[in-house]
A and B are shown apart, each in its own frame.
Chain A
């Protein structure tokens, strides 16, 4: 598995355990995400703090992971490292996801 899971209240935290979500991992990552979120509560937070590299295939796999959650559940992102943040910003995917600096902040967000 390229991810590890932990539930906290009504949130499932999915931590990526591989340093690169790239073309070589993308298909397996999306499958692992399906397994990791199959019986997940309404909210899933994907912890990317340990990921130093995401390419367009990896980005597509993260988008696909959100889509396969289906309506009524949502995927938030946390802990983007600088390169990963740049890929999300350039492709404007930073407007599609709620992004938090860390899992801690994602679990205790400031009120909007």
Chain B
């Protein structure tokens, strides 16, 4: 039995510290010997979720900790992000960016999360925010694998 590849990193929720965690995630993903792992999708979603915590969960003068965990399972990456900041309230649905008027310079974050992640679930528990999500393996490759079995 191989141990499922997994990564856990914590940092202070600032954009600079989040970048360090994402670079550690890059190293982890570059070393995976699993060609159907949805590495780029995880890079994109982890960036959006962690930077969202850095931007909104804490007052800028008192950024607190954020923890990121992921494990690679047959269905994809199972991920959890936790922080001790203010409650998120209702999770944004991430509407399709409106490109009909003046071009938006923001509002793409939750849209990307919902495009690439499945089972996005937020809960407030014991003064912590917890966001769980799955980054599924690439559909074509799952189809290809099931054909062979």
Contacts and interface: CB of A to CB of B under 8 A. Distances in A.
B47 interface: yes
Interface residues of A, number: 24
A60 interface: yes
In this complex, the interface size class of chain B, counting residues with CB under 8 Å from chain A, is: 20 to 34
Contact of A83 (B43, B54, B99, B107): B43
Interface string B72-113: 000000000000000000000000110100111111110110
Interface string A59-103: 111011011000000000000001100110011100110000000
B16 A83 contact: no
Given A23-B18, A60-B106, A67-B105, A87 B51 contact: no
Contacts of B18: 23-24
B15 A23 contact: yes
B99 A96 contact: yes
Contacts of B108: 56, 59-60, 91
Nearest to B16: A24
Interface in B105-129: 105-109, 111-112, 115-116
Contacts of A92: 96-97, 99
A64 B54 CA distance: 22
Interface in B29-87: 40, 43-44, 47-48, 51, 54-55
B11 interface: no
Given A83-B40, A86-B40, A91-B111, A55 B99 contact: no
Interface in A40-60: 53, 55-57, 59-60
Contacts of B99: 92, 95-96
A105 to B, nearest CB: 23
Interface of B: 15-16, 18-19, 22, 26, 40, 43-44, 47-48, 51, 54-55, 96-97, 99, 102-109, 111-112, 115-116
Interface of A: 20, 22-24, 53, 55-57, 59-61, 63-64, 66-67, 82-83, 86-87, 90-92, 95-96
Closest 7 CB pairs of A and B: A24-B15, A56-B108, A60-B105, A56-B109, A23-B15, A23-B51, A55-B47
